Structure 1
Amino acid sequence: MSEKQLVAETLVAVIGEHLSSDEILNLLEKPKTAQHGDIAFPAFALAKHLRKAPQVIAGEIVEQLPQKAFEKIEVVGPYINFFLKKDSVSEEILHEILEKGADYGNQMTGEGRNVPIDMSSPNIAKPISMGHLRSTVIGNALANIMAKIGYQPIKINHLGDWGTQFGKLIVAYKKWGSEEAVRENPIQELLNLYVRFHNEAETQPELEDEARQWFKKLEDDDAEALTLWAWFREESLKEFMHIYDMLDVHFDSFNGEAFYNDKMDAIIEELKEKHLLVESKGAMVVDLEKYGLNPALIQKSDGATLYITRDLAAAEYRHKTYDFAQSLYVVGNEQSMHFKQLKAVLEEMGHEWAKDIHHIPFGLITQGGKKLSTRKGKIVLLEEVLNEAIASAKEQIAAKNPDLENKDEIAHQVGVGAVVFHDLKNDRLNNFDFNLEEVVRFEGETGPYVQYTHARACSILRKANFEIDLDAALALNDADSWEVIKLLQAFKEAVTKAAAQYEPSVIAKHAIQLAQAFNKYYAHVRILEDNEEKQARLSLVKAVTIVLAEDLRLLGLKAPENM
């Protein structure tokens, strides 16, 4: 039983006729300061039932509460403040963490069921820019968090690998390209060809007709068109994999848009059979007026399909293939209407599982307050940003610890981790400004700060030759250790909340708070002093390394033991 549950059960014995244990649990708060205890119950919630002032109610409840399970219970205005027994709670928490290690906080909510996560999804023949960072790292963190609570995540990179741009690329390659140049620098060369096509088409509009003809050949399985398309895709993927390796992000499927080409006719047939398709100006739509949405355009007047047709095919395929408990789409906020329409069409088709589809939107990365531009060549390349972050980390590590072994490996973990952490510490719906200098700082609310705290704690344990002793007395009751203990305990709740809200920032904020509390503890307490509490203090340090490393792992970061 958690401490919050203990408080709820204690209160329900007195006020159970008015509020259930779950209702009380939802009302419990964490006081703003430690002077007001560890858990607070606001008596406002009972004012309506009891027709008394909340502070009077609070006083009357406390008189009836058994105090033995707590250090003390106090009334402050309308709040009942519970002070937990530091000795018994610290003993229990430290034993549990030392015993379970990285499994601390694991839950079986998901019962092993599948959760496909549609994430990253760059376009073939175009570079991975900073604009792709958010979908990639939010999706990866959510996969780790869902696995932590017992689901089986399936990371799907729904590649942009189809469309008229391939007709343009084929024309450009046949006119101006060379195999050697593409093999040498695939993305840049293919992008150059694509840009050249658009420049030339301004004075030679017939190129657009050629491009349409080549894309039609591609759709009709023309051998040359298919060979070139497959080659462009393969060369692009090699380049993408290099960046995914830098981020340490791996996928279970690269089924992109092209994969669903032969699955869309069945969707259109199903919509026809269910009498859901309505003609509108020659095009076919699904009326979604009852959902308060615009009609979903399924097929253009020339018979061409659209993104939503493909996404309907993908949703049905994923449900058949994975029998998912939830299906997540980590796609920018600007696509919200698309996903509302997608779910509404699936509901109209009678698919009950449509309710298990969730769009996980996110805000923009800005620079100097302005949106990162992809027009006129102003692409901010993700690989360049990661390399700059690694170089900055290496510089700082060389200044702090010139004799450090594996400098390059640690600099990579810290630099890349800094960029990922900076993204994930922000509430995903918020836009945020990116400034590399701030991101890779070793002080402040940054990834390197959390990693450095973890390394510092590991260093203390090495110095002490610490070994876990589960039979030792691990009770601590000083104020500094108590702040750390409460945050170690809060990790489980952070995991549950992050999963429920699809919000990795909950984990990042927990990591920052735990690192700050530990550094305060380190500054105020003589951890290595020989006395009867030494084993308990070192066990606290060990527990901090376990939980911080797990915080970082869930976010997709490494936890170096030396920095």
Structure 2
Amino acid sequence: MASFFRKQIAAKLGEALQHSEDAFIPALTAVPVLKKQNAADFKLSVSTLRMNGILPTSGDVQLQAENLATQLKQDSVLEHIFADRGAIHFKVNNKLLVQLLEPFGKGEDEKFGLSSDLFDTLKRGTTLVEYSSPNIAKKFHAGHLRSTIIGNFIANLKQSLGNNVIRMNYLGDWGMQFGLLGAGFGQFGCQEKLKESPLQHLFEVYVRVNKEAEHNEGLKEAARDFFRQLEQHESQALSLWQQLREITVKEYQHVYKRLGVHFDIYSGESFHQNQAQEVVQQLQSRGLLTKSKKGTGVVDLSPDRDMGSLCTVVRSDGTTLYITRDLAAAVDRKEKYNFDEMIYVTDKSQSNHFQQLFQVLLAMGHSWADRCHHVPFGLVQGMKTRTGEVVFLEDVLDEARARMLQNMSQSKTTKEMNNPEDTAEKVGISALIVQDFKGPLQSDYKFDWDRMLQAQGDTGVFLQYTHARLCSLIQRNDGLEAATFESSVLIEQACIAILQHLLRYDEILYQSAQDLQPKHLVNFLLKLCHLVASAHRELPVKGSPQHVAQARFRLFSAACSVLANGMRILGITPVDKM
């Protein structure tokens, strides 16, 4: 229905300005719902029309808006058109606005907002998303939480908009860090401890070997030697590497399952060790590889080729680096999956690495490197559990569940449920995700347990509480849904406010698809919850005349569906009771 209104407005504008209707659809925005009654549902900024060459760039903006508004005639769909602050505003007939709820009685709840004309401008195809990507043989660090949940959101969003999505976990399972662990395990490792608590033991070995290597040149040399053995496929080194890789992936899968995250492919640096050498040869044959004074192999990325910006791709001993394997991985993925775009999700400290990666790929003649993107994110500060410093993600998930369980046991509104631990886990993870997604991804943020788990305020707990409350209302009024829906009875401002807000859903998804920021969807869903809370107080279902109760039931059911759909895109599993 939002699409229908946009088309109607675009047709009027197209006729008045002698321009294609398609030019206006992405430029129209739904007006956010304010506390005071909204005067309009959609608006179009004159500055946008000037920028797109549709209106002259000279002259007073407000005057242009007024002139254009007078050319557009009101009708049965658009009951009010006016100019204000350099924009043209459009008020939709409320009787038609209520028809937004029509699809919800026909089993089309999950499709709501997804067939919008807005998405016609988005390129669809195969999207490969690389995210999480921890280093094997280390416990899943809390810092990996951001990459995992952001990547999962991007994959969910792209999939919901009709892309074929490949979810890839690219494990750090090669390189000097593994050489250090391999050498360290030989000295400090114990197979018994490895069976009992695999990642805990490997973490202890890794910490110890790093500490020892600081002042032990022999150990550093042993690490370099172990990595050389790996690159030369020496059987003993490969056997240990294989064992530690399998153990780690198995342990990670347990954590991913708790987060509701899955991958189509577990790849890793090791997959591309041979291809990395091929990349080096290709760089050489293209005349892109030169030797530095230190004897390393470098690619000159400076515009004037004056060695001002160097990318090192080979160590002086001939072994490959992380970027060499990344180059090989990118080329291999393009050949295997023929992606239309590839998205890497890592922290912002790696921005320079990806800039160099894409530049080298372009220099090698791979024009598709322009369709590779890095989504950087900031750091989480102060993530600690009751026991002190947090090292591992599982500790964070356990803590979130325990705290949520305690909050639920102390709340008077908590319902009886079969598995309170499972509910506490889902709600705790929602709280983690929403706290993480509320601001711009590139910003660092301060982790705050108490604020994150509040039931009031803009939190994941509030989203889940609203969803559970709506599910309870639907369950209590089971059988009320009518075959004939009398939309004309939904006249109260609390109803109209929810409908006006739902008009924005496709636009929010469109905006999210363009900048890959989850904050738009988070803030949309939180606002929906606040509007639902007001409507819940003002518009009782039980005790109202049947036709009114049925219409309100449809309104709350629609809000529940959109809330659940949006939560799933964010990577949150909605709960029905809490």
User: What's the TM-score once normalised by structure 2's chain length?
Assistant: 0.89
How far off its partner does 1:291 sit?
A: 9.0
Q: Residue 486 of structure 1 corresponds to which residue in structure 2?
A: 500
Q: Residue 39 of structure 1 corresponds to which residue in structure 2?
A: 42
How far off its partner does 1:151 sit?
A: 1.0
Instruction: Say whether 1:426 aligns with 2:426.
Output: no
* Aligned Cα root-mean-square deviation (Å): 2.6
How far off its partner does 1:41 sit?
A: 3.4
Instruction: Say whether 1:95 aligns with 2:102.
Output: yes
Distance 1:393 1:247 in 2: 16
Q: 1:163 to 1:478 in 2, by over 3 A?
A: same
Q: Residue 386 of structure 1 corresponds to which residue in structure 2?
A: 397
How far off its partner does 1:395 sit?
A: 1.8
Q: 1:409 aligns with which of 396, 406, 422?
A: 422
Q: Residue 176 of structure 1 corresponds to which residue in structure 2?
A: 188
Q: Deviations over 1:446-489 (max 9, x none)?
A: 11101110111111111111454454233433211111112222
Q: Larger deviation: 195-204 or 233-242?
A: 195-204
Q: 1:45 to 1:332 in 2, by over 3 A?
A: closer
3-state DSSP of counterpart to 1:8: helix
Q: 1:489 to 1:468 in 2, by over 3 A?
A: farther
Q: 5+ residue gaps in structure 1? A: none
How far off its partner does 1:379 sit?
A: 4.8
Q: Residue 252 of structure 1 corresponds to which residue in structure 2?
A: 264
Distance 2:357 2:62 in 1: 50
3-state DSSP of counterpart to 2:512: helix
How far off its partner does 1:287 sit?
A: 2.1
Instruction: Say whether 1:499 aligns with 2:499.
Output: no
How far off its partner does 1:555 sit?
A: 0.9
Task: Confirm or deny: 8 A CA contact 1:183 1:235 kept in the other structure.
Answer: no
Distance 2:47 2:171 in 1: 52
Q: 2:529 aligns with which of 512, 515, 521?
A: 515
3-state DSSP of counterpart to 2:138: coil
Distance 2:289 2:563 in 1: 53
Task: Confirm or deny: 8 A CA contact 1:286 1:345 kept in the other structure.
Answer: yes
Q: 1:82 aligns with which of 79, 90, 93?
A: 90
Q: Deviations over 1:517-559 (max 9, x none)?
A: 1111112222331253322211111111111001111111111
Give the aligned residue type for 1:533.
V
Give the aligned residue type for 2:112.
Y
Q: Residue 359 of structure 2 corresponds to which residue in structure 1?
A: 344
Task: Confirm or deny: 8 A CA contact 1:29 1:41 kept in the other structure.
Answer: no
Q: 1:470 to 1:324 in 2, by over 3 A?
A: farther
Q: How many residues align?
A: 554
Q: Larger deviation: 538-547 or 8-17?
A: 8-17
Q: 5+ residue gaps in structure 2? A: none
Q: Residue 139 of structure 2 corresponds to which residue in structure 1?
A: 127
Give the aligned residue type for 2:519.
S
Q: 1:446 aligns with which of 436, 448, 459?
A: 459
Task: Confirm or deny: 8 A CA contact 2:10 2:22 kept in the other structure.
Answer: yes
3-state DSSP of counterpart to 1:128: coil
What aligned pairs does 1:12-411 form with structure 2 within 5 A after superposition? 12-16=14-18, 22=23, 25-26=26-27, 28=29, 30=31, 33=34, 34-43=37-46, 49=56, 53-68=60-75, 69-76=77-84, 78-91=86-99, 93-99=100-106, 100-107=108-115, 113-202=125-214, 204-281=216-293, 282-290=295-303, 294-367=309-382, 379-398=390-409, 399=411, 400-401=413-414, 403-411=416-424
Q: 1:4 to 1:172 in 2, by over 3 A?
A: same
Q: 1:539 aligns with which of 554, 570, 574?
A: 554
3-state DSSP of counterpart to 1:26: coil
Distance 2:267 2:49 in 1: 55
Distance 1:228 1:361 in 2: 33
3-state DSSP of counterpart to 1:254: strand
Q: Deviations over 1:363-422 (max 9, x none)?
A: 111128xxx9xxxx9553211111111112112222232523321221111112211222
Distance 1:467 1:530 in 2: 12
Q: Residue 5 of structure 2 corresponds to which residue in structure 1?
A: 3
Instruction: Say whether 1:464 aligns with 2:477.
Output: yes
3-state DSSP of counterpart to 2:442: coil
